Structure 1
């Protein structure tokens, strides 16, 4: 049996082996095989061993089937409903600005102009001429979420009257705005009350900056020689701005150019204590923050004061513009 399983064998070899054991005879018709007594005994032994093998392997195969059976599919969890679009204070701020403008301009009989913002406006008693006052330059100066989907919006508005009295006076109005989903899947807003006039937001003390005192921008100062042509190219379009930029700096001139001329008046330099001009440009790779005060001449000939916070870097014996900073650099907090 081992020999038969260990190597391939042909039909002729099988016939010879069977003949040596008194084995296999051809049928008279030449079709099929008839087995001798010895062959039948061998076959019975093989079948008997296979049967015992199945009996012994049965429990193992059954256990393997249990272990590998896929888990029964449970109920599919219900999918959470899609919620309303995310809402926030940006829409509430714009809604409050429009509501304040409508309230300032409202007069006798204008209740219907306010009900789209505040449904309770039908019961208001309005006085004065419609449009007798107007609100301009509206801007949100404070925005906070007071309760759930309710936002408290403080709007600054410059209120003027038709007769000119009180022109240019800034008022502050606080508006409670509720935010929620609409039937069409969008976001809706409603005022919970009429605006309340409030005091101006308090002014804080300005934080300290890293720059020293202001000093004149002298023509021979290497810092002036760096910032003056760079800002002139940036604001007026005169000259090639890239000539004054450090490698890797990205700054493009304003287009169209808003000014026709530029003068650099003052500099405040990072780390300076007495405002004295530096004698020479240090070695390559030194970074320095500079606050620049300029006057730019508009197309109408009026000179406008502007300030720029710049970071400069040394290369090849000169200062170059590394970046136009978003804000002046604050001094580190004292311990």
Structure 2
């Protein structure tokens, strides 16, 4: 039997061939890329700039973290910056506790050695004891001294002389100059007056000089009787000072003024009345509603059967409502002349001063019942 010729079968298996190893391709960089026309040569500069900015940002970040850690680790680092020192001229002057100068004068008058020992920073002399006493002391003036931490006082004292039998005789008011100092190194509140002391004994000085007369702006004198305004004020002061009835009936709505209790006087009369300006007050009749007035009233008061009268002065604001005068306020201070009037030369008669009325002062806030 004849054998068939076998057809050649194509082989799909690749014949192994020797592979020649190739060197690894170099990594491409930005410089290997072809640059468009007009930008060739600038890619390297841009890359260097980017790397520089990147390094700068990391440097700043690391520096900030390092400074923060240093500030926390440093003692007191969490505290804020210390405030700048205040100049001595701008720093408020510290004043000794109230009453230290008065206490020194009272102790000196009575010769109280234990109290003087806590207040006197000088040699303590031997003083007479219990021959004089201060029934009352009060500070007349106080001002900073010429040196730092120094204060000068003038203290008034009602002095009484003590007799051997135990009685006392009033001597009158006497005045004493006192200086109190405190050393800058004294920081603790030691001693009777928190470290303040007198470097010398009190010095007795002359009494106060008479006060100069001050002009006021009440330039129009008004009648004190027989007119509605005067009658309203007379009844008001009787209710205020002498136990009169119903003080509220003389007050404007929303105004609350309490009568003095117990009543210190038994009788009160209106002695003098003046107005600042007051052109609308001529004739004595009640002007139109809404009219306002600034008044200065002087009253004379008596106590029981005692002889003599006690005079008091009240600056008032009043207004007309419903055809009658009402008190809107007892002013805190009298009306003073304006600056141009007070500096004007020439006659100083009250009739030559123009009024300075600008309407009544605001009524005090109601603190009780209102009408």
TM range (shorter): 0.5 to 0.7
Q: Specify the structure having the higher radius of gyration (Cα).
A: 2
Say whether residues 1:172 and 2:179 are aligned partners: no
Aligned residue in 2 for 1:235:
241
The number of residues matched between the two structures is 273
Say whether residues 1:187 and 2:194 are aligned partners: yes
Aligned residue in 2 for 1:149:
149
| Higher mean displacement: 237-246 or 67-76 | 67-76
Between structures 1 and 2, the one with greater strand share = 1
Say whether residues 1:103 and 2:108 are aligned partners: yes
Give the drift of 1:214.
5.5
Aligned residue in 2 for 1:160:
160
Distance 2:228 2:169 in 1: 50
CA contact (8 A) 1:258 1:299 kept: no
CA contact (8 A) 1:115 1:121 kept: no
**CA offsets 1:171-192 (integer angstroms, 9 cap, x no match):** 2111111256425799332111
**CA offsets 1:234-264 (integer angstroms, 9 cap, x no match):** 2234322222112343322233433344322
CA contact (8 A) 2:162 2:169 kept: no
CA contact (8 A) 2:316 2:329 kept: yes
Aligned residue in 2 for 1:201:
208
**CA offsets 1:96-119 (integer angstroms, 9 cap, x no match):** 10110111122xxx5444212104
> Unaligned 5+ residue runs, structure 1?
1-54
Say whether residues 1:139 and 2:144 are aligned partners: no
| Higher mean displacement: 138-147 or 168-177 | 168-177
| Higher mean displacement: 236-245 or 150-159 | 236-245
Say whether residues 1:287 and 2:289 are aligned partners: no
**1:121-132 aligned within 5 A:** 121-122=123-124, 124-126=125-127, 129-132=128-131
Aligned residue in 1 for 2:120:
118
Aligned residue in 2 for 1:257:
263
**CA offsets 1:294-335 (integer angstroms, 9 cap, x no match):** 233446766532221111112222221111112221122324
Between structures 1 and 2, the one with greater helix share = 1
Distance 1:270 1:317 in 2: 21
Give the alignment's Cα RMSD to 1 decimal: 4.0
Distance 1:278 1:131 in 2: 64
Q: 1:130 to 1:152 in 2, by over 3 A?
A: same
